[in-house]
Chains A and B, each alone.
Chain A
Amino acid sequence: MYCENCKERPASVILKQESMEGSVERHLCEKCAFHSQTFQFDPSHEPLSIQQFLAHWFGGADPFIAPQQKKEIPKGPECPECHLTFSKFLEIGKFGCATCYDSFRALLPRVLGKLHNGHSAHIGKVPESFSGLYAIKRKLEEIRVKMQEAVEAERFEEAAELRDEANRLKERLDSGGGEYNVN
């Protein structure tokens, strides 16, 4: 079989290119394989592409090792929403959807830490709708504790009032926390 690209030299390398759409196999000679896409990076990417970076740190595909020497690495968990596997994520350096973060949660602190100077937890802005929900959840906890105390102290009237308030909060929580005033 001859190289698909130059059609001059015998094909000695099978190049498997995988993308989100599926995988394509190309039979190339060594020379063409060397010059083929595996060794070129999209110029729109950052100088040290994140794919290279992740692959380097996590023993995934190293772009500087010829493809036939590629080590098989375990696929790891798979995202139920977009079917991205963890190993694939390391290879392409991108998440497929928000659910990926949940699916790979336990493995992510290490990945994110490498990219963010050892940090893997967000301490910046929290969107209003989320902070609203948190506030309701926290308040609900508080009321439950108070209610327990009231019941134990046999202050049933107060406990009933607290129960009504808790129910109102729960309704708001179910409807997405809309008009609840955080303060």
Chain B
Amino acid sequence: MSIEKFMQNAVTGWMAAHGEHSDIVLSTRIRLARNLRGYRFPIAFTEKEAVEIDRSIANVLLDEEENGYSYMRMSDLPALERQVLVEKHLISPQLTNPAKHGAVILSKDETVSVMVNEEDHIRIQCIYPGLQLEDAYEQANQVDNFLENQLPYAFDEEFGFLTSCPSNTGTGMRASVMMHLPALTITKQIDRIIPAISRLGMVVRGSYGEGSEAPGNVYQVSNQTTLGKTEQDILADLGNITSRLIAHERKSRELLLAKSRIALEDRLFRSLGTISYARLLPTGEAARCLSDVRLGIDLGIIQNIHMSILNELMIFMQPGFLQQYAGTELTQEERDIFRAKLFRGRLNQEKEYASTEKGNEEE
């Protein structure tokens, strides 16, 4: 498959790199955890219950026409396709266990995904590009109301929405923003910021893994508590912290430029060189260079490359996507070869765009 075709098919809504503050905030995600009354939670339910839950949720959503939902049962999907859905952030790794009667219902543009029989019966998720907490919540809330109109929810006057894990009880809402914070990382300020944020009831973690390490300088900031606060308060608090992080990051970028412009330019261009010419590109190096190139684009140091390159390649460089691109299973070394090839292909695409645009200008 040609790289253009592959990318066209694989790019999903949130990778588009627009929306507010999209130079720093890559995406916004809202997740609502819900359960149906009268059925035990997935940790304890019977197969019969699982099947009934799956059927009733699918029936309700597939009747809806506006969002153009499609349904995928985990046990029907090959392992590679499940992995690709995880890498696109459309489902969680937990859902991929085919023995658990999990399924996902995706809207046509993939901004809404409803996971069935994950840790809870229903997990509604909306991902938007850039910083769009209100809009993403509005969308998730609509799906929630739609489901709630036709299905009996497990809700309690005192505890709110009842979830399998007590850390989700109440609103059942997890709001998160994915942020690219290279300057705060280079200047090591992030090490002081993370503990400070966690005192405010929010969590910061690397977006690829769950540890504090953040390959590619991409961090995820989300609310930790779901009880005793309204949805609007949670969104406002998260929005506040995000704005402060954005301001800090911008200031650090200015500082870096003012203090050591040549050293910074050198580093960013070397990284551009690496991803343009490397023949073997391991994950860690790819993530680091990609972050540098994106910073270069944001600062106007690197020109003629679109900023969506980070959003896209960050996802496509993962094992599942690489293997889908290659059309076969790959060993780790083969993956490094394909990753290098994918990056070169994507950068060539940029050059072609740039030269046609130039050509058009000259005419």
Q: Known contacts A116-B226, A128-B148, A128-B149; is A93 also within 8 Å of B231 by CB? A: no
Q: Which of B33-41, B58-66, B283-291 is the contact stretch?
A: B33-41
Q: Which of A107-115, A139-147, A167-175 is the contact stretch?
A: A107-115
B154 at the interface (CB under 8 A from A): yes
A153 at the interface (CB under 8 A from B): no
B77 at the interface (CB under 8 A from A): no
Residue total for A at the interface (Cβ-Cβ under 8 A): 40
B327 at the interface (CB under 8 A from A): no
Contact with B along A29-44 (1 / 0, CB 8 A): 0000000000000011
Please tell me which one of the listed residues B44, B158, B227, B231 contacts residue A84 in the complex, with CB atoms under 8 A apart: B44
Q: Known contacts A20-B44, A46-B210, A47-B211; is A127 also within 8 Å of B155 by CB? A: yes
Q: Which residues of A contact B152 (CB under 8 A)?
A: 129
B324-339 interface (Cβ within 8 A of A): none
Q: Known contacts A47-B210, A96-B44, A112-B169; is A101 also within 8 Å of B231 by CB? A: no
Q: Which residues of A contact B145 (CB under 8 A)?
A: 128
B195 at the interface (CB under 8 A from A): no
Bound form: Cα–Cα A117–B164 in Å: 19
Q: Which residues of B contact A116 (CB under 8 A)?
A: 167, 169-170, 225-228
Residue contact B160 to A122, C-beta cutoff 8 Å: yes
Bound form: Cα–Cα A151–B44 in Å: 53
Residue contact B229 to A119, C-beta cutoff 8 Å: yes
Bound form: Cα–Cα A132–B225 in Å: 27
Q: Which residues of B contact A43 (CB under 8 A)?
A: 210
Residue contact B227 to A97, C-beta cutoff 8 Å: no
Bound form: Cα–Cα A96–B166 in Å: 11
B1-60 interface (Cβ within 8 A of A): 35, 37, 39-41, 43-44
Bound form: Cα–Cα A68–B205 in Å: 35
Q: Which residues of B contact A105 (CB under 8 A)?
A: 158
Bound form: Cα–Cα A43–B158 in Å: 32
Quote the shortest CB–CB distance from B173 to chain A (angstroms). 8
Please tell me which one of the listed residues A95, A118, A128 contacts residue B41 in the complex, with CB atoms under 8 A apart: A95
B162 at the interface (CB under 8 A from A): yes
A156 at the interface (CB under 8 A from B): no
**Chain B residue with the shortest CB-CB distance to A20:** B44
Please tell me which one of the listed residues A20, A101, A122, A128 contacts residue B171 in the complex, with CB atoms under 8 A apart: A122
A24 at the interface (CB under 8 A from B): no
Given contact pairs A50-B165, A94-B43, a sample of 9 additional A-B residue pairs in the complex whose CB atoms are under 8 Å apart: A44-B93, A47-B211, A82-B44, A93-B165, A95-B163, A120-B228, A121-B158, A124-B171, A124-B231
Interface residues, chain B, CB within 8 Å of chain A? 35, 37, 39-41, 43-44, 92-94, 119, 141, 145, 148-149, 152-167, 169-171, 173, 201, 205, 210-212, 225-231
23 CB contacts below 8 A, A to B, read A20-B44, A44-B93, A44-B210, A45-B210, A93-B166, A95-B166, A96-B41, A98-B37, A112-B227, A116-B167, A119-B225, A119-B228, A121-B227, A121-B228, A123-B229, A123-B230, A124-B171, A124-B231, A127-B148, A127-B153, A127-B155, A129-B149, A129-B152
Which 5 A-B pairs have CB atoms at the shortest separation, nearest pair first? A119-B228, A122-B160, A96-B44, A98-B154, A116-B227
